[in-house]
Amino acid sequence: MSKLYEQVADQLTELVNKGVYNHGEKLPSVRRLSRQFDVSTTTVVEAYRLLEDQGVLEVRPQSGHYVAKREPDVSAPRATCPEPNNPVPVTVGDLVLKVMKDNHNRDYVRLGGADTAADLLPVKRLQKCIAKASTDETSLTVYDHPPGCLELRQALAKLSLSAGLHCSPDDIILTLGCQEALTLCLRAVCKVGDVVAIESPTFYGQLQAIEMLGLRVLEIPSDPAEGMSLDALMLALDQMPVRAVLVTPSHNNPTGSCMSTDNRRELVEILEQAQVPLIEDDVYGDLGYNSTRLPAAASFDRSGNVLYCSSLSKTLAPGYRLGWTVAGRYQNEVHKLKALTNLASPSVLALGMAYYLMGNSYDRTLRTQRREYARRVREMRKAILKEFPSGTRVSDPRGGYVLWVELPRRVKTLELYEEARNRGVIYAPGPLFSAGKRYAHCLRLDASEWGPEAQKAVKILGRLFAESLA
């Protein structure tokens, strides 16, 4: 049986190993630690002495006890493969999380996400706005309450005019990104087991929201340029108990498809007649390369049947998680669900964003982004067509910053994912974008950070896919 001070020393060592205390960090005072561990100060002093002897900590005169700095081990090989490589059985859900995680790891060239280009965000201006908002005391001292920060809702109501939406600030509910908006709207209109019709392929975040809520997915054939086939949708409505339809009319992720104004109007009419609510995901609406924004489907809504969802994550601040919904006649239900799930979003970021939007520089920011994304997408597209095996087809989007690639059918992008990662490149395999695990020979690539590194990565992928055909 070890002595008490040895036990304390062991626990402290464990805390250091776990990363609770960093190397070089000051440890608590003897008195404080004795309170925390509920032992005498003598025991702590002895424990600290032992740890000093063991080289775990060092004493700095007049200052206190510090975790010893670890000498870098120059002989150790640098990790080239940070995680074990054994194939593990994964569901698509787990795979999505894996791709998301890999796509955060700076050891790789990360083409697997749909992330805004950091160099195109008005960072300095937004930071100033947040600093200003943080001086507002109530945004700190008070729980915000749905629908959330009025100033931001006013700014968003103005912004929505360019999408043809004439809504009042009262019609808007702020959410934690568009993903939460979609989840809340799905919950407002569906119950467990209900069928939701979606485009195919479509953003895995939509699929996962549907699956997580215990709903069932019906994939409607969709054209990579024109979006969801309304004929196929009508057929489905006739034959299936579809409870809701979830569509991204503008620049669908992953294909970039963009529904025509006429089709948007017709979609709204069909669903109004069928009394099936339409959930519209408009996160890419502001990122069409053409300066004329198509009207949102919600702009044709006359009966409150459309639940419009969007966010500022794609054009201004992914990290701030500022989304919203205009939920038509489901407004009250969404309001309630938001309150029950997490009360409200942090209002300081909402207020800061409102200050930014009042400043009238958003239009200029958008112009730059549209031009740049159009260029980056075009160049990545050219590179893909050059480097990938013959027979490869690539989407030709009119907005957003992702590309959808169809390889020859024998190339299995899910099976090749690990090997691509070994070679340093992350992409999003096609089956992520389908509940039925379709699109085995497809992948999505993120063009937002196009540059020499991404160019090399496209070359690496091209070689990998060619090898798999050999």
The correct pick among 344, 384, 407, 442 for binding a copy of itself (CB under 8 A) is 344
In whole angstroms, the minimum distance from the beta carbon of 448 to a copy of itself comes to 11
15 interacts with a copy of itself by CB under 8 A: yes
Q: Return the residue of 126, 298, 309, 402 that touches a copy of itself, per CB under 8 A.
A: 126
Q: Which stretch binds a copy of itself (CB under 8 A): 14-22, 51-59, 401-409, 425-433?
A: 14-22
Site for a copy of itself in 47-106 (CB under 8 A): 93-94, 97, 100-101, 104
Query: What track of x and - describes contact with a copy of itself for positions 287 through 326 (by CB under 8 A)?
Result: --------------------------x---xxxxx-----
Q: Which of 59, 81, 90, 118 binds a copy of itself (CB under 8 A)?
A: 118
147 sits near a copy of itself (criterion: CB under 8 A) = no
Total residues at the site for a copy of itself (CB under 8 A)?
81
To a copy of itself, the closest distance from the beta carbon of 303 in angstroms equals: 18
Q: Which residues pair with 199 in a beta bridge?
A: 220
> Which is closer to a copy of itself, CB of 228 or CB of 258?
258
HEC assignment per residue over the chain: CCCHHHHHHHHHHHHHHHCCCCCCCECCCHHHHHHHHCCCHHHHHHHHHHHHHCCCEEEECCCEEEECCCCCCCCCCCCCCCCCCCCCCCCHHHHHHHHHHHCCCCCCEECCCCCCCHHHCCHHHHHHHHHHHCCCCHHHHCCCCCCCCHHHHHHHHHHHHHHCCCCCHHHEEEEEHHHHHHHHHHHHHCCCCCEEEEEECCCHHHHHHHHHCCCEEEEEEEECCCEECHHHHHHHHHHCCEEEEEECCECCCCCCCECCHHHHHHHHHHHHHHCCCEEEECCCHHHECCCCCCCCHHHHCCCCCEEEEEECCCCCCHHHCEEEEECHHHHHHHHHHHHHHHCCCCHHHHHHHHHHHHCCCHHHHHHHHHHHHHHHHHHHHHHHHHHCCCCCEECCCCECCEEEEECCCCCCHHHHHHHHHHCCEECEEHHHHCCCCCCCCEEEEECCCCCHHHHHHHHHHHHHHHHHHC
Name all contacts of 2-11 with Cβ < 8 Å and 24+ positions apart.
4/39, 4/43, 5/39, 5/43, 5/44, 5/46, 5/47, 5/50, 6/47, 6/50, 8/33, 8/37, 8/39, 8/43, 8/44, 8/47, 9/47, 9/48, 9/50, 9/51, 9/54, 9/56, 11/37
Binding mask 254-293 for a copy of itself (x = CB under 8 A): ----------------------------------------
Please pick, from the candidates 59, 123, 235, 240, the single residue that binds a copy of itself as defined by CB under 8 A: 123
What's the closest the beta carbon of residue 408 comes to a copy of itself, in angstroms? 32
Interactions with a copy of itself, residue window 417-436 (CB under 8 A)? none
Q: Rounded to whole angstroms, how far apart are CA atoms 380 and 372?
A: 12
Q: Which of 252, 347, 395, 448 is the binder for a copy of itself (CB under 8 A)? A: 347
Residues of this chain, 193-222, that bind a copy of itself according to CB under 8 A: 205, 208-209, 212, 214
Q: Please select the residue that binds a copy of itself; options are 74, 79, 88, 340, rule is CB under 8 A.
A: 340
Considering the complex, state which of residue 97 and residue 469 has its C-beta at the smaller distance from a copy of itself.
97
Sign of CA dihedral 344, 114, 248, 284: positive
188 near a copy of itself, rule: CB under 8 A: no
Binding-site member from 168, 290, 368, 422 for a copy of itself (CB under 8 A):
168
Among 30, 44, 48, 180, binds a copy of itself (CB under 8 A): 180
Closest distance to a copy of itself from the beta carbon of 295 (Å) = 9
Residue closer to a copy of itself by CB (options 288, 462) is 288
337 in contact with a copy of itself (CB under 8 A): yes
Q: Please identify which residue in 81, 90, 161, 240 interacts with a copy of itself, judged by CB under 8 A.
A: 161
For a copy of itself, give the closer residue by CB, 175 or 200.
175
Rule CB under 8 A: is residue 348 a binding residue for a copy of itself? yes
* 446 near a copy of itself, judged by CB under 8 A: no
Pick from 54, 85, 303, 342: which binds a copy of itself (CB under 8 A)?
Answer: 342
Residue 121 CB, nearest distance to a copy of itself (Å)? Answer: 5
- Stretch 349-378: interaction string toward a copy of itself, x if CB under 8 A: x--x--------------------------
Q: How far apart are CA 386 and CA 250, in angstroms?
A: 28
Cβ pair 29, 64 in contact under 8 A: yes
| Position 43 contacts a copy of itself (CB under 8 A) | no
Closest CB to a copy of itself among residues 210, 416: 210
Least distance from a copy of itself to the Cβ atom of residue 36, Å: 5
